[in-house]
Amino acid sequence: MYDLTVRRRALAMLASGLSVSEVSRRTGANRSTIRAWRDRPAAGLSTTGTCPRCAETPHSPSPAGSYAYLLGLYLGDGCISPAGDPAKAVWSMRIFCADAWPGLRRECVAALRAVRPTNKVRIVPKQGCAEVNSYSKHWPHLFPQHGPGLKHQRPITLEGWQQEIVDAHPGLFVRGLMHSDGYRGVNRVRHGERCYAYPRYLFRNESRDILALCGRALDVLGVAWRHNKRNELSVARREAVALLDLHVGPKH
């Protein structure tokens, strides 16, 4: 399956006088497909199943809440990598979910299916975890933070349309971040003979940019936080933890 932008590009080349073989060479689409586009240029031009960012008038993916959650998962512990023949430009969105939290895995699968309903979601068992993946030509369009190398070794900034989604759904975005690289547990502190225990959230990431995105979303939620380490932020005040519990809570 080729996306709508490839088809439109091929039709424009044919209209300019290029041969089917030359258009095939330039676009990577096979000749039989290009001939079918040439003979029926208006057939199948519905945007169903195509990428909202590749549409003639680009728009934000939906449902926005599912996208915000998936964005958090991806930035925290996900990756986009080539799948199969590079000439076909198919990409795999891969997110690893520990076996200890089956509920988190179900949420990950549901978010992938919601954002790309026309693509299959696979669960590949690994030692102690499972790789949840989905193939699509459009993952780099939907997650433009994709690039060579590790995330903390390159700038990570949100596009304007992504920031609008995050600002509208900060709780789901933080939920995705916490479900990937976050932790809710009990901190124990001893003062003399007394031992105090209280719940807190930690989010650890080597990317300063991703830490800043988490902090901004927490600010929108009104959740107090602080940097407790160079690569980690903490939510520990009682009222802040209670507020974040409404959006995240313990992994399950």
pLDDT for 123-158, tens place per residue?
999 999 999 999 998 999 999 999 888 899 999 999
The CATH code for residues 64-245 is: 3.10.28
Domain assignments of the chain as residue spans, ordered by start: 4-39, 64-245
CA-CA distance, 37 to 43, in Å (whole number)? Answer: 8
- Of 73 and 10, which is predicted with more confidence? 73
Q: pLDDT for 225-242, tens place per residue?
A: 999 999 999 999 999 999
CA-CA distance, 147 to 134, in Å (whole number)? Answer: 18
In terms of Cα–Cα distance, which of 128, 124, 126 is closest to 99?
A: 128
| Mean pLDDT value across residues 201-213 | 97
- Name the band, by pLDDT with cuts 50, 70 and 90, for residue 48: very low
Which residue reads 């596009």 in tokens? 159
Q: How many CB atoms lie within 10 A of CB 236?
A: 16
CA-CA distance, 224 to 236, in Å (whole number)? Answer: 8
